[in-house]
Structure 1
Amino acid sequence: METVPAFAHGDRLTRRDLESITDERRRYELVDGTLLVSPSPRPLHQRVVARVLAALTPGCPAECEVLPAPVDVVLDEHTVLIPDVVIGRRADFTERALVGVPVLAVEVVSPSSRHIDRYLKPATLARAGCPHYWVIDPKAPSMSWFRLDGDAYTAVGEVFDDELAEIGQPYALTMRPSDLVSDY
């Protein structure tokens, strides 16, 4: 039986604490030592993740790798995130995680993760120095992409439905939100 260990109330959790959790039915992340728990993703969410992964992989530079969740992104001992899709430098991947700042983090919004994906994760990734962040909302459907400007993200573009997203960084890519969610 998979379990979540009991942690002392008020303690700031660490990467080691996170690794002691054996429950694979949920996603566990840490932000500044605080545990975030998300339910397993639904089929629409995973469809979008698969299509984003397929779109990003062909153009990915050789020194980087594109991977879907669950891949731990270790920003420090108290902050471990799991973006839905992440691009990292190959040199930063270990056997267990991406240790360091990703090149791009992509989040697909779920009803339970809306606030986390739109506010908490981008603030945390910006503070760490992640140069690119995308948010895809399958319900709209929409896609927004951001570039790090100082210590915060600046919106670069946003498209809805059949509008074409023409993204230049971290490398050239075009996609439509409607293509990410269609059940064709």
Structure 2
Amino acid sequence: MAQLVLLSSEIQPYSLKDDGTFPNNAHLPVLYYEDCLQLPDNFSAGPAIEALFVSNQWGGVWQNGIQTFHHYHSTSHEALGVASGHVNLQLGGPHGVVLELKRGDVVIIPAGVAHCNLDSSTDFSCVGAYPRGQEQYDLLSGEPGERPDADARMSLLALPVIDPVYGTDGPLMNYWVEWRQKV
């Protein structure tokens, strides 16, 4: 029976600073785990990615696309695992970096980082999840008046205790703790 297999992945961090509209997160980088999930052809990856995230204490799981407008969450960090197709995901607002995510990739987005689906294949689908205790996320779009309240919520937000892909021995916490100490 086909199953999801974890592969080691070179972690690609992206530091995104406040652009005046979107807070982004100078203290925590976006982490891109390229090709971290081996997904056999004709394998229904969505349920397997959901189960992986849940087994690592990330909840509030959903499977769908990604919003086509720039938005961020001030009450939660977010993991996105690509189950099918591909997407051009812009991070950091309209002038931010663009990643082409494909089936088997995972991106971990810290609270405050704007993200937007610029373009995707017709079969694109991803699984989203949030650290335990942060499943009730907000959806902010950079409107006047969102800040400084959103910034205050982000400053109080706990770090995840488990990597959504690699579990307790995963690199997420090391990257984020080390990054916070640098800033």
Q: What TM-score does the superposition give when structure 2 sets the normalisation length?
A: 0.29
Higher RCO (C-alpha under 8 Å, 6+ residues apart)? 2
Structure richer in helix, relative to its length: 1
Larger of the two Rg values belongs to structure:
1
Q: What TM-score does the superposition give when structure 1 sets the normalisation length?
A: 0.29
